[in-house]
Structure 1
Amino acid sequence: MFRHNALRYAVLVALSLAALFQALTAEYFGLEILTEILILAVLVLALDMVAGFGGQVSLCHGALMGVGAYVYALVSAKAGIAPPVAMASAVAVTGVIAWVIGAICSRSHGIYFIMATLAFGQMAYAYVFEAPVFGGDDGLSGISRLDLSLFGIDLDDSRSFALFCLAVAGAVYGASVMTLQSGLGRSLTGVMHNEQRMRALGLTVWRVKADVFGLSGMIAGLAGVLAAQHVMYISPGLLSWTVSGEALVVVILGGLGTLVGPLIGAAAFVLLKHEISAWTDHWHLVVGVVLIAVVMSGANGIFGWAEARWGGWLERRMADATRKHEQEEVVSDA
């Protein structure tokens, strides 16, 4: 079951303060980078929920993100329905689709689960690419952002939209923690560690996997809505398997099954991409080298490495304190 510790709380506070400071002080380009990080953070939180705590390594979360973006665009821009209703519709539709995918793939494991989700993602990409209603290769434009003028907030302003994305990312993180600490989350963890035993105890395993995959899909759909509102344009490339692959790289880079780690991974990935792309178009090579170094180190990503070192330091401190206390008791007894 997911639990917070002092280090995780400290990292969360540090990341939140850094993002808030950037949102309040950065200029346009800095705000765009921050918004990109926050949208990616929402997506990788969704992926870490199923991959890190359920062992369901998915390569269709990019496609689910794209589904959320396209549903929002069609309902708001094409049908002319208010953005709040369009957002709710996009999240709900993506959640239903993700639940169906999770139910179908629930009996597969390992590489077979990965390939099955990849197939679903590619089918979605091909359909959107070919269907005229989705604009084909040209995509869809004219997408509007949520109207919060009633509260005196103009989301057409880059700073306001970055702060909005920060609030959404915080809410998603809280919802993810609540889900993983609930009975459903504990059942998912049990299934990952020993599926046969959980089935013997009477648990409907496929339903647990499908339910969590559906919730994860809703979060991915929300990330798609934010992405559509951010750029105000979407194309089939948003559903490409490479988007799912990058999300998986971010989760592994930050720390699989930690929730906090993927947030670090999202920030590191986007910053590396923008900094290195200023020098060369082959920035993927540098990110690949970093990922290989992290994997070969044996640590669970950047945060996993830090957590292991912090845990060892804490254990040594506790052992020293216990030994000192025992020595003081011996002296006092003498």
Structure 2
Amino acid sequence: MKNYFTLERVTALVIVVSCLGFVDFAGYYGQELIAEIAILAIFAMSLDLLVGYTGLVSLGHAAFLGIGAYATGILTVHMGWNVASSMAAGVIMAGLIAAIIGAFVVRLGGIFFIMITLALSQMFYAYFLKNREFGGDDGMPGIPRLDLEMFGLDASDPAIFAVFTVIVAALVFVLLDLIMNSPFGRYLLAIHQNENRMRSLGAPIGLYKLAIFIVAGMVAGLAGSMQAQHMGFVSPDAMFWTVSGIVLIMVIVGGTGTLVGAVVGAAVVRMMSHELSSLTEYWMMYMGLFFIGIVLFAGDGIYGTLAKYWHRARDPKAPQDLAK
């Protein structure tokens, strides 16, 4: 009988329930922080599809975040679209651009994939930086939030928007969990573990990689759209390569190849960066030391390492499947 209550799913459920229960007591700043972490979690899960499940390390993933954000901003501010339609358009646009880029880069690997995705991301950054019609380096303000009045809710209320972002992040987790536990997801894991063997068996490796690259781009586009709504603003900085680097650190800190690990990493890195920056001007140095410590002493990430010990404690003879 298949076990639907895996450690990863139960952990995700606990995180979602905890966030929803904490919203009422969090105050304005806490509610804003919950919304920000939920959006970062969506973005981190999208990158983990590439890094953890496919073995494609991208330093250009922020391009899709920015595409989703700018699509929402341009369509609402300049063209008068409603936010729901602009969100859908942002996700589709990010997917289309991911399909175009992916058609050329997914067959590459290692440093070549990293450098090309980095270069393409910087091209998008440079375009929006110089495009005065969309605000240039000043960015684009005035982006509205999704209209939730049909449910009797006001998205401008920080508590309501925080709950909304957590629910969306939970739905994204469920969708991606279904994908990665489907035959398609198992093919991807097999390709990641032994690409040469899968190629010798005649598997369409390039097609599978392209498909997950598109899915990752679309999810990142959704995160970008929600980030634009949360901030009411978007700037070219959303596409800068350091944004990709930061979310890559989040994925590694939480644990690659586990969707909930990406969520944990996003929460830990964001909360630590805020607390340390309020205590010392050398906060980045301490963040660097923390990251080095994770790599040296918890190579599977926070969640990945804890999951490994959990499974080992329950059944020392069982294979250590961190995703389960």
Instruction: Please classify the TM superposition score into its range, dividing by the shorter chain length.
Output: over 0.9
Which residue of the partner structure matches residue 230 of structure 1?
Answer: 230
Instruction: Please show how residues 250-289 of structure 1 align to structure 2 within 5 Å.
Output: 250-289=250-289
Which residue of the partner structure matches residue 322 of structure 2?
Answer: none
Q: Which amino acid aligns with 1:211?
A: A
Which residue of the partner structure matches residue 321 of structure 2?
Answer: none
Q: Which amino acid aligns with 2:120?
A: F
Q: What's the RMSD between the two structures over aligned residues?
A: 1.6
Mean Cα displacement is larger for which, 48-57 or 5-14? 5-14
Looking at structure 1, the residues matched to 230 and 280 of structure 2 have their Cα atoms a distance apart, in angstroms, of 26
Looking at structure 1, the residues matched to 254 and 51 of structure 2 have their Cα atoms a distance apart, in angstroms, of 13
Mean Cα displacement is larger for which, 40-49 or 20-29? 20-29
Which residue of the partner structure matches residue 218 of structure 1?
Answer: 218
Which residue of the partner structure matches residue 143 of structure 1?
Answer: 143
Give the CA deviation at 1:282.
Answer: 2.9
Which residue of the partner structure matches residue 52 of structure 2?
Answer: 52
Is residue 193 of structure 1 aligned with residue 201 of structure 2? no
Q: Which amino acid aligns with 2:98?
A: A
Q: Extract structure 1 runs of 4+ deviating beyond 4 A.
A: 3-6
Do 1:100 and 1:210's aligned partners in 2 also have CA atoms closer than 8 Å?
A: no
Do 1:62 and 1:244's aligned partners in 2 also have CA atoms closer than 8 Å?
A: yes
Mean Cα displacement is larger for which, 142-151 or 176-185? 176-185
Deviations 1:236-269 (A, max 9, x none): 1111111100000000000010111111111111
Mean Cα displacement is larger for which, 56-65 or 39-48? 56-65
Which residue of the partner structure matches residue 240 of structure 2?
Answer: 240
Looking at structure 2, the residues matched to 214 and 197 of structure 1 have their Cα atoms a distance apart, in angstroms, of 24
Looking at structure 2, the residues matched to 75 and 13 of structure 1 have their Cα atoms a distance apart, in angstroms, of 34
Looking at structure 2, the residues matched to 213 and 290 of structure 1 have their Cα atoms a distance apart, in angstroms, of 30
Deviations 1:160-189 (A, max 9, x none): 000000110001001111111223222211
Deviations 1:168-222 (A, max 9, x none): 0001001111111223222211221222222232222211111110011000000
Q: Which amino acid aligns with 1:81?
A: W
Do 1:76 and 1:83's aligned partners in 2 also have CA atoms closer than 8 Å?
A: yes
Looking at structure 1, the residues matched to 99 and 188 of structure 2 have their Cα atoms a distance apart, in angstroms, of 15
Q: Select the structure of larger CA radius of gyration.
A: 1
Mean Cα displacement is larger for which, 40-49 or 178-187? 178-187
Is residue 95 of structure 1 aligned with residue 95 of structure 2? yes
Secondary structure at 1:54 match in 2: coil
Query: In the superposition, relative to structure 1, how do residues 201 and 113 fare at CA in structure 2: closer, same or farther (>3 Å)?
Result: same
Which residue of the partner structure matches residue 328 of structure 1?
Answer: none
Do 1:22 and 1:34's aligned partners in 2 also have CA atoms closer than 8 Å?
A: no
Q: What is the number of equivalent residue pairs in this alignment?
A: 316
Looking at structure 1, the residues matched to 236 and 308 of structure 2 have their Cα atoms a distance apart, in angstroms, of 40
Do 1:51 and 1:256's aligned partners in 2 also have CA atoms closer than 8 Å?
A: yes
Stretches of structure 1 that go unaligned for 5 or more consecutive residues are 319-334
Which residue of the partner structure matches residue 39 of structure 2?
Answer: 39
Give the CA deviation at 1:7.
Answer: 3.0
Looking at structure 1, the residues matched to 5 and 102 of structure 2 have their Cα atoms a distance apart, in angstroms, of 31
Stretches of structure 2 that go unaligned for 5 or more consecutive residues are 319-324
Q: Which amino acid aligns with 1:246?
A: I
